[in-house]
């Protein structure tokens, strides 16, 4: 089931023409992933404080289809494609009024306290299994 986050385009998100600057779509989908993890019950700050584990983007494949503009109300969707003990692949999109403006396939991994790859936290694996069974 896709997680949905509504965001507004602010002036700071745009270029001189009032169009969302391309790199800001990556910020939008980052917010979507953070809220997706929160909905799954994973507190990233507590995870870092308690175990030293953090998440990192390993790969992004993005398509810019249509521009978003100043003051648009956007929806960011996040949906699990695959999950292994070491990584999660997500499909994310940014939409305006149901029209897809931007899509990305994002691979995230977990890094341990040393900064090296680590297994995903057990609570996330459990939550992902429950989420994909819904």
Task: Answer for the pair 44, 64: CB distance below 8 angstroms, yes or no.
Answer: no
Among candidate residues 15, 43, 63, 71, the one labeled active-site is: 15
* Distant-in-sequence contacts of 16-24, Cβ < 8 A, 24+ apart: 18/69, 18/70, 19/67, 19/68, 19/69, 19/70, 20/67, 20/68, 20/69, 20/72, 22/64
**43 is known as an active-site residue:** no
Q: How many CA atoms lie within 13 A of 16 on its CB side?
A: 0
Residues known to be catalytic: 15
């Amino acid at each position: 089931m896709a997680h949905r986050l509504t965001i507004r385009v602010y002036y700071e998100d745009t270029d001189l023409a009032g169009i969302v600057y391309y790199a800001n779509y990556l910020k939008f989908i980052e917010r979507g992933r953070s809220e997706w993890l929160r909905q799954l019950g994973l507190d990233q700050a507590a995870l870092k404080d308690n175990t030293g584990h953090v998440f990192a983007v390993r790969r992004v494949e993005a398509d810019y289809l249509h521009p978003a503009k100043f003051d648009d109300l956007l929806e960011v969707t996040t949906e699990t494609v695959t999950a292994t003990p070491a990584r999660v692949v997500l499909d994310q999109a940014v939409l305006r009024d149901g029209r897809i403006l931007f899509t990305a396939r994002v691979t995230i991994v977990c890094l341990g306290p040393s900064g090296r790859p680590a297994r995903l936290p057990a609570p996330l694996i459990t939550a992902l299994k429950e989420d994909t069974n819904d």
